[in-house]
């Protein structure tokens, strides 16, 4: 009778050991997934990044600007479902005769907002960001009023990674507990079978002993390290040459906010090459003298920065004449495409009618000029896929070519740059 009980007990111990081993593998696998998969794969779309990359050329979370309406508390003026449809493709609503869409379209001089290839979640993230920014604005409603709540707060953003950390800690604790239980069960079975306990070595010999006894764990750790290292390496390589938000100090402090924003000087007055050549060009200081021969003092820097222009062209302020002693201005280049990428300003500005802000952002708001867009290949290709070509009245495209495209894609088709071969490799790389 005792032998049957002992056999049943040992059998039960074996089943328990198998169960513990399965649980151990499951918890280890869950821990690996948490380690390998980046947090961002679970996170919601970044509304702030989407807004700054796609919306700031025409909108701000504040008062109306020249191009588009201010978006402060826009979530209180329109329903979310309508906003999603409007942001994705405003013109489809206008053509469908949506009264609200037609009213907005006509109110802002019938300037068509471009369509965006956003998912519903991405649009909701942008709306949430606008909610949050509206609440931060100086004139935001009082607490409890419309627009005061909702949105993505800093606490919400921080809570998700904290949850992952806690989950990882719990899984680690479970792994350690199950590991101890598994060792205890193995010890019971070894005692029953008369197997002596292995001698535990110390130092380097102990490490080698542990490695030999845990080859699967070592292999798993190597795989994890390889995957993580590959991902990190890829992200590092992908970021080479991408210098978004690069805003170096220049030898002369030039405020685009003052010149373009307040004084309404057209970009092409200074960068005339944008319409005529591949490069937009840096304006000569002689061009600056068209105004600064008479404007000798600025509202922010006084005479300090303007005097540097005089030194560059060799202008004697007192005698009001050129001295002939000139000095080169060593500007620091901000936008720098790789040598294997071809970009023609005139093709985009003159032929395509692309606004400077599309690539360079709201320069009229920049005190110090910076690189606004990433200028990556993916960013350019997406623009070519979304941007509709303005063919009517455009002398660059013949009527025959226009009619040919209509027959090919349909009379009502949206003729984007992509349909004209704008995503072919040789267009930019040859």
Question: Considering only 203-207, 233-237, 336-340, 346-350, which range has the smallest mean pLDDT?
Answer: 203-207
Segment 278-302, tens digit of pLDDT? 999 999 999 999 999 999 999 988 9
Q: What is the pLDDT confidence band of residue 177, given thresholds at 50, 70 and 90?
A: confident
Q: What is the pLDDT confidence band of residue 144, given thresholds at 50, 70 and 90?
A: very low
Average of per-residue pLDDT values in the chain = 80
91, 125, 151: which is the final residue of a domain?
151
Inside any domain, residue 343: no
Inside any domain, residue 416: yes
**pLDDT of res. 73:** 85
Segment 186-238, tens digit of pLDDT? 777 777 777 777 666 677 877 887 778 778 888 888 998 999 999 989 888 88
Inside any domain, residue 427: yes
Tell me the three-class secondary structure of the chain, residue by residue.
Answer: CHHHHHHHHHHHHHHHHHHHHHHHHHHHHHHHHHHHCCHHHCCCCCHHHHHHHHCCCCCCCCCCCCCCCCCCCHHHHCCHHHHHHHHHCHHHHHHCCCHHHHHHHHHCCCCCCCCCCCCHHHHHHHHHHHHHHHHHCCCCCCCCCCCCCCCCCHHHHHHHHHHHHHHHHHHHHHHHHHHHHHHHHHHHHHHHHCCCCCCCCCHHHHHHHHHHHCHHHHHHHHHHHHHHHHHHHHHHHHCCCCCCCCCCCCCCCCCHHHHHHHCCCCHHHHCCHHHHCCCCCCCCHHHHHHHHCCCCCECCCECHHHHHHHHHHCEECCCCEECCCCCCCCCCCCCCCCCCCCCCHHHHHHHCCCCHHHHHCCHHHCCCCCCCCCCCHHHHHHHHHHCECCCCCCCCCCHHHHHHHHHHHCCCCCCECHHHCCCCHHHHCC
Domain count, the chain: 2
pTM above 0.75, yes or no: no
Inside any domain, residue 288: no
**pLDDT of res. 70:** 79
151, 167, 190: which is the final residue of a domain?
151
Inside any domain, residue 208: no
Containing structural domain, residue 385:
376-430
Q: CATH no. for residue 98? A: 1.10.760.10
Question: Considering only 19-33, 180-194, 341-355, which range has the smallest mean pLDDT?
Answer: 19-33
105, 131, 151: which is the final residue of a domain?
151
Inside any domain, residue 118: yes
Inside any domain, residue 127: yes
Inside any domain, residue 125: yes
**pLDDT of res. 413:** 84
């Amino acid at each position: 009778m005792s032998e049957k009980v002992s056999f049943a007990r040992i059998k039960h111990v074996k089943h328990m050991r198998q169960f513990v081993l399965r649980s151990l593998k499951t918890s280890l696998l869950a821990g690996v997934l948490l380690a390998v998969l980046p947090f961002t794969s679970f996170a919601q779309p970044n509304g702030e990044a989407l807004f700054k990359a796609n919306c700031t050329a025409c909108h701000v979370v504040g008062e109306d600007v020249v191009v588009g309406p201010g978006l402060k508390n826009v979530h209180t003026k329109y329903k979310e479902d309508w906003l999603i449809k409007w942001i994705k493709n405003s013109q489809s609503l206008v053509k469908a005769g949506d009264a609200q869409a037609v009213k907005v379209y006509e109110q802002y001089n019938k300037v068509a907002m471009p369509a965006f290839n956003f998912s519903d979640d991405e649009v909701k993230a942008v709306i949430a960001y606008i909610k949050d920014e509206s609440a931060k604005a100086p004139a935001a409603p009082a607490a409890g009023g419309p627009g005061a709540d909702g949105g993505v707060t800093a606490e919400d953003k921080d809570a998700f990674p904290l949850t992952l950390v806690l989950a990882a800690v719990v899984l680690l604790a479970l792994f350690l507990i199950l590991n101890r239980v598994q060792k205890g069960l193995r010890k019971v079975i070894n005692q029953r079978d008369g197997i002596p306990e292995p001698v535990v070595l110390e130092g380097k010999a102990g490490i080698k002993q542990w490695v030999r006894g845990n080859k699967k764990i070592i292999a798993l750790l190597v795989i994890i390290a390889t995957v993580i290292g590959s991902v990190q390496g890829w992200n590092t390589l992908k970021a080479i040459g991408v210098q978004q938000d690069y805003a170096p100090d220049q030898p002369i402090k030039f405020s685009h906010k003052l010149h373009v924003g307040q004084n309404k000087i057209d970009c092409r007055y200074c960068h005339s090459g944008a319409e005529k050549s591949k490069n937009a060009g840096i304006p000569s200081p002689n061009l600056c003298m068209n105004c600064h021969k008479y404007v000798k003092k600025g509202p922010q820097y006084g005479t300090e920065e303007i005097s540097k222009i005089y030194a560059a062209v060799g202008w004697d302020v007192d005698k009001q004449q050129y001295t002939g002693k000139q000095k080169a201005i060593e500007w620091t280049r901000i936008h720098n495409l790789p040598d294997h990428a071809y970009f023609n300003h005139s093709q985009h500005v003159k032929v395509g009618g692309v606004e400077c802000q599309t690539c360079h952002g709201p320069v009229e708001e920049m005190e110090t000029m910076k690189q606004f867009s990433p200028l990556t290949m993916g960013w350019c290709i997406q623009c070519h896929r979304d941007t509709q070509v303005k063919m009517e009245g455009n002398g660059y495209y013949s009527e025959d070519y226009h009619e040919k495209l209509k027959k090919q894609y349909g009379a009502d088709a949206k003729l984007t740059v992509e349909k004209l071969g704008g995503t072919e490799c040789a267009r930019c790389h040859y």
